[in-house]
C-alpha cells in the first residue's frame, strides 16, 4: 500500500512572479495528482521542511499543478529562491475541497484577500468551466496596494467569461496612479447586488479578514449556513492523526479546510 507520508517527486517547471512577495510555481509531479478545488497538498522543500498549500490551478489540468505562495518564513523563503528545474516533493491531496455540488443553481459570492485569492482561483477555474450551472458568480477581491494584487492579468478575462460572472477589486489605501476602488474588501459588500436568499458565499484570506467578512455577510443578511470559510491554519500530518489543526471537534485537514460557518460559529476564538 502507498505510504501517505511519502512525497511524490516533483519538478518546478516554471515560476511566475505575481507580486513582490507572491510567486506561482508550476509543478510537474512524476505522476498526475488528481485533486478537487479547495483540497490542499503538503509540499516538501528538501532540507527545509514541509508546508501546506492549496493548488491555485484548475482541477481539470491533470499533468501539472500550480501553487501560489506568499513569502512568510522558512519553507516559503526557500521556495522563493528556487529556479526552474528545482525539485520538491508533494503529498496529498488532503481535505474535502469546496462544496461544488451545493453551488449549482446558486448566486456564488467569492470574497478573497491577498494571497487568499490563490486557493479561490482553483474554485474560479472550476466554476468558470461551466458558468451556466450557476445563477451568478460574483468575485470580490482586495489587497493592500496595487502591487500586491495577485493574478492581475486574469481579471479582465474572468469578467468576460459570461454575463453572469463579474469581478470587482479594491485596494486598502490610496496609491499613486490607482483609479479603482479604495477601501477594505468588506466595503465591496456594502453595495452587494446579489440575491442573498439564493446565495452561497465563500471566503479565503487572513483570519482577521475572514472575521470581518463574516460579520459583514451576517449583517447584510446571509445565514451562517450560507457562508464557507477557508481555515488555512497550521497543519502537519494532513490526515487527522496529529491533532495540530482542530477547531472545536473538527480536524480542519479532514473536515475542511473550507468550513461551513454554521458548524464552527460556536467555537471560542474561531478566528484565531
Ligand atoms: C490548508 C492550507 C492551505 C494553504 N494554502 C496556501 C496557499 O495557497 N498559498 C500560501 O501562500 N499559503 C498557504 N497556506 C499557508 C502556508 O502553509 C504557510 O504560509 C506556510 O506553512 C508557512 O511556512 P514557512 O515555513 O515559510 O513559515 P514559518 O517559518 O513556519 O512561519 C513564518 C510565519 O508565518 C506564520 N504562518 C505559518 N503558517 C501559517 C498559516 N497557515 N497561516 C498564517 N500564518 C502562518 C507563522 O506563524 C510565522 O509567523 C496554507 C495553509 C493551509 C493550512
Ligand atoms: S494536520 Fe494532523 S490532524 Fe490535522
Taking the CA of residue 237 as reference, the ligand 2 atom at the shortest distance is 2
State the ligand closest to the CA atom of 74. 1
Domain ranges of the chain: 8-94, 100-230
The pLDDT, as a whole number, for residue 234 is 77
User: pLDDT by residue (tens digit) across 113-164?
Assistant: 999 999 999 999 999 999 999 999 999 999 999 999 999 999 999 999 999 9
Contacts of 254 (CB under 8 A, 6+ apart): 94, 95, 96, 239, 240
According to the model, what pLDDT value does residue 4 have?
A: 74
Counting from 1 in the atom list of ligand 1, the atom nearest the Cα of 79 is 26
Residue 232's pLDDT is 87
| Ligand 2 site residues, Cβ closer than 6 angstroms | 235-238, 240-245, 251, 253
Instruction: From residue 102, give the alpha-carbon distance in Å to each of 108, 134, 170.
Output: 10, 10, 28
Q: What is the dihedral of CA 180, 186, 187, 188, to 10 degrees?
A: 60
| CA 55–ligand 2 middle distance (angstroms) | 18
Query: Measured between alpha carbons, how far is 219 from 199 in angstroms, rounded to an integer?
Result: 15
Ligand 1 shell residues, CB under 6 Å = 40, 51-54, 67-70, 72-76, 115, 118-119, 232-235, 257
Q: Closest ligand to 253 CA?
A: 2
pLDDT tens digits for range 124-138: 999 999 999 999 999
Fold of 100-230: Rossmann fold (3.40.50)
DSSP string, 113-130: EGGGHHHHHHHHHHHHTS
Query: What fold is seen in the domain 8-94?
Result: Elongation Factor Tu (Ef-tu); domain 3 (2.40.30)
Cross-strand partners of 204: 112
- Which residues, given as ranges, of the chain have pLDDT below 70? 1
Equal fold, 8-94 vs 100-230: no
pTM to 2 decimal places? 0.95
Cα of 71 from ligand 1 centre, angstroms: 9
Q: Best of 245, 250, 255 to mutate for ligand 2, by most ligand atoms within 8 A of CB?
A: 245
CA of 259 from ligand 2 middle (Å) equals 15
Grid cell, residue 220, equals 447584510
Amino acid at each position: 500500500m502507498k505510504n501517505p507520508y511519502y512525497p511524490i517527486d516533483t519538478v518546478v517547471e516554471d515560476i511566475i512572479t505575481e507580486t513582490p512577495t507572491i510567486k506561482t510555481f508550476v509543478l510537474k509531479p512524476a505522476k498526475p495528482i488528481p485533486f478537487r478545488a479547495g483540497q490542499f497538498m503538503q509540499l516538501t522543500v528538501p532540507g527545509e521542511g514541509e508546508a501546506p498549500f492549496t493548488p491555485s490551478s484548475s482541477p481539470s489540468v491533470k499533468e501539472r499543478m500550480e501553487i501560489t505562495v506568499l513569502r512568510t518564513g522558512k519553507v516559503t523563503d526557500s521556495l522563493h529562491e528556487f529556479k526552474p528545474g528545482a525539485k520538491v516533493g508533494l503529498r496529498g491531496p488532503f481535505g474535502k475541497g469546496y462544496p461544488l455540488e451545493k453551488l449549482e443553481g446558486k448566486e456564488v459570492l467569492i470574497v478573497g484577500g491577498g494571497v487568499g485569492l490563490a486557493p479561490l482561483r482553483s474554485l474560479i477555474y472550476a466554476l468558470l468551466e461551466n458558468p451556466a450551472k450557476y445563477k451568478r458568480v460574483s468575485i470580490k477581491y482586495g489587497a493592500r496596494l496595487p502591487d500586491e494584487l495577485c493574478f492581475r492579468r486574469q481579471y479582465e478575462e474572468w469578467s468576460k467569461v459570461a454575463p453572469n460572472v463579474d469581478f470587482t477589486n479594491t485596494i486598502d489605501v490610496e496609491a499613486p496612479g490607482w483609479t479603482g476602488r479604495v477601501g477594505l474588501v468588506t466595503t465591496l459588500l456594502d453595495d452587494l447586488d446579489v440575491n442573498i436568499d439564493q446565495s452561497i458565499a465563500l471566503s479565503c484570506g487572513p483570519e482577521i479578514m475572514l472575521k470581518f467578512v463574516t460579520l459583514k455577510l451576517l449583517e447584510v443578511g446571509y445565514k451562517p449556513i450560507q457562508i464557507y470559510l477557508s481555515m488555512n491554519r497550521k497543519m502537519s500530518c494532513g490526515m487527522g492523526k496529529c491533532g495540530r489543526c482542530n477547531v472545536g471537534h473538527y480536524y480542519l485537514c479532514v473536515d475542511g479546510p473550507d468550513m461551513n460557518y454554521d458548524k464552527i460559529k460556536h467555537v471560542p476564538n474561531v478566528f484565531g
